[in-house]
Structure 1
């Protein structure tokens, strides 16, 4: 029986349960989408350049070399094992085979052709030895994450599947098309290289149209400020819950991740469950807005709440925030608690949101002083952090899924990438103001939200323990950008009762998880103890999507049912235009 190649080992700090049912196949557009975004990426500036991702920081490299130098017997043993395996590969006796989820070598030619099989096995053997040596070095978690990040980029880049004359898919395409695939692949390569983010295109720019294919839930813009538009969605039920829901999307992407295609729209589901739903649609800023900072966005949330209360006549709202929007929301709630107005919020939800950055994954480990200074200097000079630069960094965090998979498809085979709504949304990049970028970096580097009073919001010291509204937090079991354990720690920072839900899949697929998928599950427990692993031991697995669980939880906190409003807007706030508004189209 063929022996599968050893996969990269995980350190204790980053270990997480394996994604099970509901996880998309490796190399698919859905898995690529899982790796496509996250707040963490604002912390590492693309100005460092792609070559820097192939070279670890000098200090980390020295500590790796020193650690291995202290274990000569171990190094010698690994070298001997590799030499023996290379001997077996040369003589055709090696049983090394790729893992079942490794789609790079799925074509039968990789196992049937003696030359290709040896090339594949050589790569797998070398990669396995690299992961074993990193594990043997037993570095501190930050150095371990850094060296794994570099090794992953190197190992993936050197895979024989990326070489045109070796990849059987490339050769077959060239034969079948009489060489036209090579010409088309070269054209696509030149086009992608000509402008940021200088990685293979993951979805064609005309694959979808916002307002026609995506973001089509009926509604209207009822408020427009220089910072955001407020969308009110049209009810689809005769009665609605009295307490309205205000949704706070990420500040580094456009809002319609919450309103994708019909049947895959979070907003559509909430409206169908009888919620009054309002959405903030952030403006795509430019150099004129360089000074917009955390306070600017915090005040924007307050302004949105004021407008919603005015339109609905209610004195309370519920909040649901996503990723970076969750940081702003938590800080605003701390401000409201400090000024005695926390009663304005009935309940709050945080989706894939990290508030405790003590060990928040690979990118947290990459936040050395040089990276931080480069990031802030770049955005300060331009007035913003460019979304295209961020997209490049996103891609290189998961090179197999987001770079080399499309390298083979687009360039070696000359094929267009598959159409996938999440990847289209991800490619529809936005900018982040220099002021907000600086604020997020400061919060993360100092881990300021874990220290009462270490940072302020609208003049109030932030103490998250003073936030006592009920909390619903979600995370993805395979999220490498916002690891679920880091998201779980949100339940320990905030006061009040918390419900934590661990969804299948990764960062984005854990959110876009509509009911109806027979493979979808989520895990939940009655209590949220201090330790995430203890919670996991107590959690039960529930079949289906977490969306109905959330609407049931929210419904219990959204007051009585009242007749649905017949018209949108009101009380002096008139309809300014149909959803999805105008800011969503800003480039």
Structure 2
């Protein structure tokens, strides 16, 4: 087992260093051989021709200027759609008819509205679109502009729907690109056509525009400098959030392991390990005291350990996906079993942390390692064939562009990742925020979740390339083609009971995709479908208003039930699924015992820092 490293200062990358990261220097030696089952194009990577560096530099320069987006993927999608549409006279007539019908419906509604305030709107915003919530959007002329925009959106949604002969991926990409363009020109984005801006400007005599200009300048400077935002007062990390008492009892160059102090005289014998996603900081699971999952578990009588991943720099570009499994998850399990004198572990993974935990659990099962008491996965996918709108960004060309961009930088930088997630819900995460901040002059609401959301991280070049190619692009894990240390692993080998959580409005890990784990495992499995989205559904603490969940158990040997049938047959239960999970863990534990010593018997793992550790503060 690797020993904890000394408590040394953490090296941060300055803004100047990040700006210089694109200065590409070809490696002095060939890239390391890929992990079996993790990467493609092995011959090219292991023994590259010198001219291939020129190709990679050229792609990296283009990717740097396009935000990592491949222009070839865009051109391919448009050509596929346009060429097929040009050879479909029936579809053209259908679209012409729909355009005329949409126009007539808008004109009819606008003519009737002045005499009938209760006339039904022909077009309504999508469920997640909150741009038109102000009451004045139902009055002329704003209602006309709103309906015209929504009618155009409806036409394009139909035009970029299924078209015989066109790749589904290409139609989805064209739809996505059109949606970005339409969102840019929404009437809600302009002061002259947004009634809320007009009303606020009149009420405050233009003061909101002055405040908005100040916010705009602040954001431009912050974007240029990439200076991390300071948490607002009352939301200080380590004091107000991520403040559950504990000690860092283990550290290597990839993660810190935090052991939390017990809050009850006796604890469940089996500890809980929390494996967060490395794409963001771990403290999404330890926010404010009232909504901290860590504190909830500690108060329920569990010994809790959490992994805090490092924020990698260019010096760690060669970290692999298997490093995150072997020197991450497995070293954490090694340390925990030593600290708890050989107790089995309730391993829990969130988002990408759940994916790497699934790989680790499969490998342990293959190798006869039975140290897992249970496996819990929150909004985590093991099959990526229906991975939602993130798949729109991935094909062979797109992955090659990202790989070469990361090759030049050494990592995937924070803004490049943030933009990807923001564009998926641009109408809310980009334009609604911009209107509120720049035209209404309102500050962003300071919350623990926004502090965490702004505290983004980087991703090592090699690891992220392997993850995109092996899991997203080629879907090897559920396809029985993912190898660890030269041998294929299978999810069906896992025998530990599983608790899997999906969230209804998740656009990062759609719940039907999460549910597919039922197809690839044979163990006892409890599936929970909870309200809200990717983060809000997991942060569903007891007492949170309006929350509910559905739950059901699959025993070994039960027939498969499709997700929609499963959902229809389960009645929603009001409240938080956290209590359900805590009870589930307690039933699968061996009883109460005295809390383990901090760092284990004889202080085998001496504390190197107080919680939340040092890695959480890396910028």
Identify the structure with bigger relative contact order (alpha carbons < 8 Å, sequence gap 6+). 1
- Partner SS state of residue 405, structure 2: helix
Q: Does 1:116 align with 2:142?
A: yes
Q: Which string of whole-angstrom CA distances, capped at 9 and with x for unpartnered residues, describes residues 244-270 of structure 1?
A: 111101011100000011110111111
Count how many residue pairs are aligned between Structure 1 and Structure 2. Answer: 539
Determine if the alignment matches structure 1 residue 582 to structure 2 residue 614.
yes
Larger Rg: 2
Specify every segment of 5 or more residues in structure 2 that has no aligned partner in the other structure, as ranges. 1-61, 114-118
CA RMSD of aligned residues (A): 2.8
Q: Which residue of 2 aligns with 1:163?
A: 190
The aligned counterpart of 1:461 is: 488
When residues 440 and 142 of structure 1 are mapped into structure 2, their CA distance, relative to the original with a 3 A threshold, is: same
For the pair 1:193 / 2:203, whether they are aligned, the reply is no
User: Equivalences for 1:175-190 in 2 at 5 Å?
Assistant: 175-190=202-217
Correspondent of 1:301 among 316, 324, 329: 329
Q: Counterpart in 1 of 2:415?
A: 388
Distance 1:318 1:86, change over 3 A: closer
Offset of residue 211 of structure 1:
0.8
State whether structure 2 residue 72 is matched by structure 1 residue 74. no
Structure 1 counterpart SS, 2:553: coil
Q: 1: CA distance between counterparts of 2:152 and 2:68?
A: 21
Question: Structure 1 pair 52/493, CA: closer, same or farther in 2 (3 Å)?
Answer: same
**Separation in structure 2 between the aligned mates of residue 466 and residue 566 of structure 1, nearest angstrom:** 33
Q: State the distance in 1 between where 2:432 and 2:154 align.
A: 21
- 2: CA distance between counterparts of 1:544 and 1:107? 30
Q: Secondary structure at the match of 2:289?
A: coil
Deviations 1:25-46 (A, max 9, x none): xxxxxxxxxxxxxxxxxxxx98
Match of 1:541 among 569, 572, 594: 572
Contact 1:203 1:420 in 2 (8 A): no
Equivalent position of 2:155 in the other structure? 129
1:420 equivalenced with 2:447 (yes/no): yes
TM-superposed deviation, 1:484: 0.6
Give 1:203 deviation, angstroms: 8.8
1:583, distance to aligned residue in structure 2 (A): 0.7
The answer on 1:85 being equivalent to 2:116 is no
Q: TM-score normalised to the size of structure 2?
A: 0.81
In structure 2, the residue corresponding to 1:580 is in which secondary structure?
A: coil
Matched-pair contact (CA < 8 Å) for 2:253–2:310: yes
Q: 1:163 to 1:55 in 2, by over 3 A?
A: farther
Alignment correspondent of 1:557: 588
How far apart are residue 473 of structure 1 and its match?
0.7
1:511 aligns with 538
Matched, 1:57 2:77: no
Q: Is the 8 A contact 1:221 1:232 kept in 2?
A: yes
Q: Kindly indicate whether the alpha-carbon contact (under 8 Å) linking 2:477 and 2:490 is maintained by their aligned counterparts in 1.
A: yes
Tell whether the 8 Å contact from 1:488 to 1:532 is kept in structure 2 after alignment.
Answer: yes
Say if 1:100 and 1:248 are closer, same or farther in 2 by CA, change over 3 A.
closer
* Residue 192 (structure 1) shift: 2.0
Does structure 1 retain, via aligned residues, the 8 Å contact 2:339–2:596? no
1:243 counterpart residue number: 270
Task: Summarize the Cα distance change of 1:51–1:163 in structure 2 as closer, same or farther, 3 Å threshold.
Answer: farther
User: 1:31 matched to which residue of 2?
Assistant: none
Matches of 1:154 and 1:53, distance apart in 2 = 18
- Identify the residue that residue 24 of structure 1 maps to in structure 2: none
Alpha-carbon offset, residue 424 of structure 1: 1.5
Following superposition of structure 1 onto structure 2, how do residues 205-216 of structure 1 map, counting pairs within 5 Å?
Answer: 205-206=231-232, 208-216=235-243
How many Å apart are 1:402 and its aligned residue?
0.3
Alpha-carbon distance change, 198 to 83 in structure 1, aligned in 2, over 3 angstroms: farther
Asked if 1:229 corresponds to 2:260, the answer is no
2:15 corresponds in structure 1 to: none
> Alpha carbons of 1:48 and 1:526: their partners in 2 closer, same or farther (altered >3 Å)?
farther
Distance in 1, Cα, partners of 2:241 & 2:231: 14
Deviations, residues 292-323 of structure 1 (Å, cap 9, x unaligned): 11121112211111111111112421200011
Is the 1:211–1:580 Cα contact (8 Å) retained in structure 2? yes
Could you tell me how far apart the structure 1 residues matched to 2:515 and 2:305 are? 26
Superposed displacement of residue 233, structure 1: 0.7
In the other structure, the counterpart of 1:317 is 345
Deviates more, 1:369-378 or 1:103-112: 103-112
For 1:20, the equivalent position in structure 2 comes to none
Tell me the residue number matched to 1:346. 373
CA displacement at 1:48 relative to structure 2: 7.0
Offset of 1:99 from its aligned partner? 4.4
Alignment map for 1:452-531 (pairs within 5 Å): 452=480, 454-527=481-554, 529=560, 531=562
Indicate the residue corresponding to 2:473 in structure 1.
Answer: 445
Structure 2 CA distance for aligned equivalents of residues 473 and 174 of structure 1: 49
User: How many Å apart are 1:91 and its aligned residue?
Assistant: 4.3
Q: Which moved more, 1:162-171 or 1:530-539?
A: 530-539
> 2: distance between equivalents of 1:276 and 1:242?
8
Q: Distance in 2 between matches of 1:447 and 1:243?
A: 33
Question: Any stretches of 5+ residues in structure 1 without a counterpart?
Answer: 1-44
- Partner secondary structure for residue 273 of structure 2: strand
Return the offset for 1:468: 1.8
Structure 1 SS opposite 2:160: helix
Q: 1:503 to 1:126 in 2, by over 3 A?
A: same
Say if 1:165 and 1:171, in contact at 8 Å, map to a contact too: yes
Task: Tell me the equivalent position of 2:8.
Answer: none
Distance 1:532 1:56, change over 3 A: same
CA distance, structure 1, for counterparts of residue 405 and residue 394 of structure 2: 15
Structure 2 distance, partners of 1:494, 1:559, is 24
